[in-house]
Amino acid sequence: MTVLAPGLAPADDQELTGLLAASAAAEVPDGGAALLGWLADHDRHAAMTVHRADLAALEGWTDDPVGGRIHHRSGRFFAVEGLDVQVPGAPVEHWQQPIIRQPEVGVLGILATRIGGVLHLLMQAKVEPGNPVGHQLSPTVQATRSNYQRAHGGRAVPYLEYFLGTVPGARTVVDVRQSEQGSWFLRKRNRNVVVEVPGGPEAVPARPGFRWCTLAEVHRALAVTDVVNMDTRTVLSCLPLAGGALRPAGAGRPDDFRAALLRSMLGESGGVHRTADLLSDLTVARTETDVDVGRVPLHTLQGWSRRDGAIVHDDGAYFSVVGVDVVARGREVARWSQPMFAAHGTGLVAFVVRRIGGVLHVLAALRTEPGFVDAVELAPTVQCTPENYAHRPASQRPAYLDRVLAADPDRLRFDTVMSEEGGRFHHTRTRYVVVEETGDDPDLVTGPGHRWVTLAQLSELVRHSHYLNVQARSLLTCLHSLALCA
């Protein structure tokens, strides 16, 4: 209940939540075909050619044998460095690996406006060198600081001004720094920001390559392989989609799963754990987990070698660091080279979910990754590359992995392969899965490293930095799409 005093802003954002829920429940007339067609048009008219190149000979980059790192000659963008990691008490206590250091906080921003009373998001058709196929649905702005300060001498970033606070009348929907892959980035953070502007598309026209979409259209596209890019998924996960304003959208739903999901987002029914206990669990885990990371020269990394112009793991596992030469039409600059990380095998990221007391809960893991700013974040139930564990005994396989792989198809509530950020990761894809458990299997009792949490709790946490890792945020967006579609 909001009892607003004159001149004061409301204590909560339920009006925004209602607007967002209505946009997510909007009809998608052609089942989303128009949006996919629009992306495909861009593939025809703005091609990008990517060729592998020797890491030691990338135009503009120094493969420094003394410092033992690969960095851009301008000192900007990012660097590939060697990392020594020690996590006393972890299953693997010590290892070394390459990692991307990108200390700048970039902007991942989506503009919103009302069209005919329905909130629309300004999405961009963007192709990145790492994309497995063509253009993907990207935020309005996706820019590192080097990028938008034009370190490469390219064109200005369109719409950037809305996210740098220079446009009056705009309303911030959300604005929070979030981590990215902590196994591949050292303490990287980006601002995840959504800004609503008044005046509709007349005030802010969509330039070529941009399109105003309802949240329903973007949510629908999540079901298609390689269409919604990682940056869109993480920004949308931060939308305020919890609380009572969701009620009308879910009225009279016949589907038990969706009703339980919506009840989980409403948040009124509580959950297995008090939020105070979840916060305490994170406090204790972060207090007790010592993650010691230190730089080592790339050429001395234990377990890694140079082969065919790339840095590869001696077991052929995990990922490689590769170089690429890129030629693009329709971007800020037409030609560049850069290092990229290329994962081996398709990743698996899954939330095991179940209804408890009629409320859908997801099983979140307390996970440590070397690049996290704060040691531990909430992560999906399972997050790994199954290939890396193919020949390991059951005791060495990640918890719940076999349960997810063996799940009956009729319990898969979401199952799409999507790619990770195409600006840094080369053909690096992940299968995103939501699998519902039923019955009272004792294996599903929470172990020390997992907690059953509601979607309302995840939405409360994701307003703040560093509680949910990027994979958990992607899945949160997928869950929202299941709950709110018409």
- Cα within 13 Å of Cα(162), Cβ side: 27
| Binding flag, residue 15, a second copy (CB under 8 A) | no
Taken as a whole, the chain contains a residue count of: 486
Least CB distance to a second copy at residue 243 (A): 10
357 near a second copy (CB under 8 A): yes
Q: What is the smallest separation between the CB atom of 286 and a second copy, expressed in angstroms? A: 7
Reading the block at residue 25, the tokens are 């429940």
CA–CA distances in Å: residue 63 to residues 69, 205, 281, 334, 468: 6, 43, 42, 23, 34
Segment 171-210, which members bind a second copy (CB under 8 A)? 172-177, 191, 193
User: Which among 59-67, 272-280, 385-393, 402-410 is the span making contact with a second copy, rule CB under 8 A?
Assistant: 272-280
Q: Does 332 bind a second copy (CB under 8 A)?
A: no
Beta-strand pair 359-367/377-379: antiparallel
Between CA 187 and CA 193, with CA 191 as vertex, the angle to 5 degrees is: 155
> Is residue 394 near a second copy by the rule CB under 8 A?
no
Closest CA to 189 of 103, 128, 110, 109: 103
Region of residue 197 (phi > 0: left; psi between -120 and 50: alpha; otherwise: beta): beta
Q: Which residues in the 212-241 window bind a second copy by CB under 8 A? A: 240
Q: Does 273 bind a second copy (CB under 8 A)?
A: yes
Among 66, 92, 276, 406, binds a second copy (CB under 8 A): 276
Give 156's strand partners: none
Binding mask 359-388 for a second copy (x = CB under 8 A): x-----------------------------
**CA 312/CA 296 separation, integer angstroms:** 16
Q: Is the Cβ of residue 27 or residue 277 nearer to a second copy in the bound state? A: 277
By CB under 8 A, tell whether 105 contacts a second copy.
yes
Stretch that binds a second copy, among 84-92, 351-359, 378-386, 390-398 (CB under 8 A): 351-359
CA distances from 465 to 16, 107, 276, 376, 460 (A): 21, 14, 17, 12, 11
Backbone angles phi, psi at 350, to 5 degrees: -140, 140
Give min distance, CB of 256 to a second copy, in A: 14
Site map for a second copy, 138-167, x if CB under 8 A?
---------------------------x--
- What would the two tokens of residue 210 be? 């941009």
CA separation, residue 225 to residues 132, 184, 347 (Å): 10, 23, 14
Nearer to a second copy, 175 or 226 (CB): 175
Is 41 or 256 the residue whose CB approaches a second copy more closely?
256
Q: On the CB side of 340, how many CA atoms lie within 13 Å of its CA?
A: 27
Question: For a second copy, which residue of 311, 456, 462, 484 counts as binding (CB under 8 A)?
Answer: 456
Phi-psi region of 401 (alpha: psi -120 to 50; beta: other; left: phi over 0): alpha
**What is the 8-class DSSP label of residue 228?**
B
Q: Judged by CB, which is closer to a second copy: 87, or 322?
A: 87
Select 116 or 168, whichever has its Cβ closest to a second copy.
168
Number of residues that bind a second copy (CB under 8 A): 49
Q: Per rule CB under 8 A, is residue 274 in the interface with a second copy?
A: yes
Strand, helix or coil for residue 44: helix
- Residue ranges in contact with a second copy by CB under 8 A: 1-13, 105, 165, 172-177, 191, 193, 240, 267-277, 279-280, 283-284, 286-287, 356-359, 456, 463-465
